[in-house]
Amino acid sequence: MLQWIKANSPGVRFRVHSTRKHGIKYDQYFSIRYRIDGKVREEGLGWATEGWTEKKAVAELAELKKNHTTGRGHRTLAEGREIRAQVEQEKAVQEKEEKIKNLSYADIFSKYLIYSQNNKRSAKSWKREEQLTRLHIIPVFKSLPLGKIAQIHLERLKKNMADAGLSPRTVRYALAVVRQVFNYAIREGVFTGQNPAAGGKVVRPQEDNKKDRYLSRVEAELLLLKLGKRSGEVHDMAMLSLYTGMRFGEVASLKWADIDTFQGIIMLRNTKSGKNRPAYMTPDIKKMFARRGPGGPDQLVFPARGKENKPHSMISHIYYDVVGKLFNQGVVDKKRWVNFHSLRHTFASWLVEANTNLYLIKDLLGHSDLKLTERYAHIGENQLKQAVMKLQNR
């Protein structure tokens, strides 16, 4: 064991390393001895290679004695190290808080985008978020820290996007992105304020999505005729929606286990409302199922081509091509366009024309609220108006 050597200065001693050198001398480890509360205490300082010298040791000892006399500051090296560590920790916390406080929306979004890329089900979602942020959100927020972004900036974002001719739906999408980014920052602990885009703090622009367009009997027959010439499967999917009111997703996910041609019932499971509901077959629908099947219970009625028992993820381009040529050419107002959902709309409209009770239509469509079904009431009103107009014509 290395022996302690008294230094020239009282209360200071050192020991010499057996092999390691510091300059031309062997490295020295310094220690100080002092009396505190009636007891002799010794504490090590460190090696000469770490910057310690006899002179520094004397200064450290003098400071401890002074603190002991005045009752201020640390009285031992251990207390001094603890105080310095606490100061460094507080400093680090303050620096972190300051850094977080100055993080801009762009800083956070760059991290959020990576999170979105790893967690969104489709690349289309995060690409759209990136586009909205780059083109519309960042130009408004600029380099503002998150804590400085307020509702006035969101109102400016809404106005800029509206002035650019963007739809209310796109504006709502942008506001949703802002809300998600703030929520992400809160979850990650880099923002502790209030989310300015949360809840009802910002009025989101609304649009009239009610589609007035539905098919007449002649138009429906023409559509099915044209589809049948292009694709038997697209024809059958369209006819099923037209005569049962099924959504595209319900048609695409339909399995043979849910088809009962004897009872004439189709059981739709896990629908948009979260509930199962029955749909009822017309004679033509029964014939269609008889022609197509039956298949195994777990087999899809309309599996996607080239994929083993996988549902269609999107509506066929054949359908859009046919309805585009038949009904949508030259129609500027998109609410007047015919799309696949127009078949469900037509189903409901024909029921109203047949004076079917709205509550029955509600159940057939699987609506959770009668208000959703009441949008079709105007069709019945149109019939009443036409009936009265015929009096004048006569």
Measured between alpha carbons, how far is 257 from 366 in angstroms, rounded to an integer? 20
Question: Which residues make Cβ contacts (< 8 Å) with residue 18, sequence separation at least 6?
Answer: 2, 26
Where helices occur in 12-72 by DSSP H, the ranges are 54-70
Confidence of residue 222 (pLDDT cuts 50, 70, 90): very high
Q: Tell me the per-residue pLDDT of 334-357, one tens digit each, with 9 for 90 and over.
A: 778 888 988 988 998 898 888 888
Confidence of residue 280 (pLDDT cuts 50, 70, 90): very high
Given this model, what pLDDT does residue 120 score?
67
CB 338 within 8 A of CB 232: no
Q: What is the mean pLDDT of the chain?
A: 85
pTM: 0.51
Confidence of residue 28 (pLDDT cuts 50, 70, 90): very high
CB 324 within 8 A of CB 342: no
Given this model, what pLDDT does residue 308 score?
80
Q: Tell me the per-residue pLDDT of 233-245, one tens digit each, with 9 for 90 and over.
A: 999 999 999 999 9
Instruction: Evaluate whether 105-187 and 217-389 have a shared fold.
Output: no
Given this model, what pLDDT does residue 101 score?
64
Strand residue runs (E) in the chain: 5-6, 12-22, 25-36, 39-47, 259-260, 265-268, 277-280
Confidence of residue 167 (pLDDT cuts 50, 70, 90): confident
Q: What is the mean pLDDT of residues 127-137?
A: 91
More confident residue, 220 or 80: 220
Given this model, what pLDDT does residue 366 score?
83
Confidence of residue 393 (pLDDT cuts 50, 70, 90): low
More confident residue, 135 or 334: 135
Q: Return the CATH superfamily for domain 217-389.
A: Intergrase catalytic core (1.10.443.10)
pLDDT at 143 over 80: yes
Given this model, what pLDDT does residue 49 score?
92
Measured between alpha carbons, how far is 383 from 378 in angstroms, rounded to an integer? 9
Selection from 99, 121, 117 nearest residue 109 by Cα: 117
Q: What percent of the chain has pLDDT over 90?
A: 34
pLDDT at 188 over 60: yes
Confidence of residue 99 (pLDDT cuts 50, 70, 90): low
Confidence of residue 289 (pLDDT cuts 50, 70, 90): very high
Q: What is the mean pLDDT of residues 25-44?
A: 87
pLDDT at 374 over 80: no
The span from the first CA to the last CA of the chain, in angstroms, equals 125
Selection from 121, 36, 160 nearest residue 313 by Cα: 121
Measured between alpha carbons, how far is 38 from 354 in angstroms, rounded to an integer? 106
Given this model, what pLDDT does residue 353 score?
84
* Annotated domain spans of the chain: 5-98, 105-187, 217-389
Q: Which CATH number fits domain 105-187: 1.10.150.130, 3.30.420.10, 1.10.3720.10, 2.60.40.420?
A: 1.10.150.130
Q: What is the mean pLDDT of residues 187-203?
A: 82
Given this model, what pLDDT does residue 36 score?
79
